[in-house]
Amino acid sequence: MSMRTSALLSWGLSATLALLLGSCGVESLDETERPGGDGELTQTSQELAWDPYADAVASGTTGTVLNASAALGAPDGQAATLLSLLNTALVLDLGAGEEGTGDLRVYYQGLSLALVAQVDFLRANGTLIGSSPVHLVELGLGTHVAVATYPGNEPYRYVRLRGALLALYLVDAVETSIRPFCGDGVLGGVEACDDGNQLSGDGCSSVCQVETGYTCAGQPSVCTDIDECALGTDTCDWGEVCVNTPGGFECEEPACEPPLLVCGETCVDPRTDNNNCGACGNVCAQGTACSAGVCLGTGNLQFTATWSRSGDADIYVRTPTGKLIYFLNKGPSEATDFGQLDVDSRGTGPENIFWAADRTPPSGTYNICFEAFAFGPAPLSFTIVVRRPGQPDVNFSGTYTARAVVQQCIPGESGYAGSITYP
């Protein structure tokens, strides 16, 4: 048990003892008044080791309390006698470092009639924190229990018991309870966490609630930052970099590293930026779009091929009317059904066959082929993307380990990649 928890338990025990002794009918003391002729509260018996019961009788206890020390310790059938004459009071000391924080339980005996006693809760310097009534109503034989509610929010060391006039009752013992409070490292009440302090910013706030961006567990609570970036729960925009911070995250602009370029004061991707296609300031003309750093023609139908290693490769498209569009028949003309090859690459692509916005491709099935020359035995991968307005892109891909040949671009040839229907 922590020193702080021990102190709180002791404080509560002392308060219970004071409540039992104070059930006599004695007038209240001023908040600034201290029991004892010298203005200080002093023990009249030796202080005991800490436990939940009162340790000592303090000065300020009047002579009308008989056998006052019998109220110390746990209930044992031995009791102090309080005859509630004028100024009768029993003051009990919980002990230094054993102050209480919770409600006080009073173990009592010997009532001839029900009565209401009063408990004063005092600070270590003897000043009054607050008072609470305790209802003593059990008249039968044996030891009974009543509870005095502690009205304060700070530790109390002494309890002073007072009660109704011309009433006799016996106090066997008093016992404190611990009222959990924020900062004691123990969860209680409405606390969602308690890390042993009242500081905010460490996951558990000054009022013992879990702060945003943290999880807390255990007693004392251990709070752990939630990594929103790793969990994917951040709200950063696409392209921004999520950086985790205690209790949250920050969204930062990414470093402009290759293949990105700084054009003016802006970081751009020259592979797809229509205003900086392949290089800063290279603007794609109307009817074209930047793909793989090249301005490609776009329109009603488009086939674009790229491949994994630099070398000579070609895309072929066979129209529904049997026209073959490739590097030797680029179009646009009747021989290509007015489709055209606008880029013939010997790098890694792209190669692009398209029908412009003012041309209507013939309806039907289009065959798509990819021919590779002299790439050697190492695998060569390719991708062909087909775009049709208002429809999802269609991807065809494959890998070659030997030369792919296209003659008519029909199914069964080594260079055949697939077919689509237009529109």
pLDDT at position 36 is 35
DSSP notation for 304-315: EEEESSSS-EEE
In single-letter form, the type of residue at position 115 comes to L
C-alpha 210/C-alpha 213 separation (Å) is 9
Torsions phi, psi for 386 (to 5 deg): -110, 130
Distance, in Å, from the CA atom of 16 to the CA atom of 9, rounded to the nearest integer, reads 11
| Cβ atoms within 10 Å of 262's Cβ, excluding its own | 10
Q: What is the pLDDT of residue 156?
A: 85
**pLDDT tens over the chain, length 423 residues:** 333 333 333 333 333 333 333 333 333 333 333 333 333 343 333 333 456 788 899 988 988 889 999 989 899 999 988 876 667 888 999 888 778 888 888 899 988 888 888 899 999 999 999 999 989 899 889 999 999 998 887 788 899 988 766 678 888 988 887 777 788 888 877 789 999 888 899 999 988 999 999 999 999 999 999 999 999 999 998 878 899 999 999 998 777 888 889 998 888 999 999 999 999 999 999 999 998 899 999 999 999 999 999 888 999 999 999 999 999 999 999 999 999 999 888 889 999 999 999 999 999 999 999 998 777 778 899 999 999 998 999 999 999 888 888 999 999 999 999 999 999
Structural domains in the chain, sorted by start: 3-176 (2.60.120.260), 182-254 (no CATH), 285-422 (2.60.40)
Per-residue pLDDT, 47: 36
pLDDT value at position 50?
52
Structure confidence at residue 86 (pLDDT): 63
pLDDT given at position 257: 83
Amino acid at 337: D
Q: Is the peptide bond before 220 cis (omega within 30 degrees of 0)?
A: yes
76 φ, ψ (degrees, to nearest 5) = -140, 10
The identity of residue 42, as a single letter, is: T
Among 212, 108, 120, residue whose Cα is nearest residue 170: 108
- 156's CB contacts (< 8 A; 6+ apart) are 11, 14, 15, 94, 99, 100, 101, 121, 122, 123, 129, 150
C-alpha separations of 409 from 386, 406, 415 in Å: 16, 6, 7
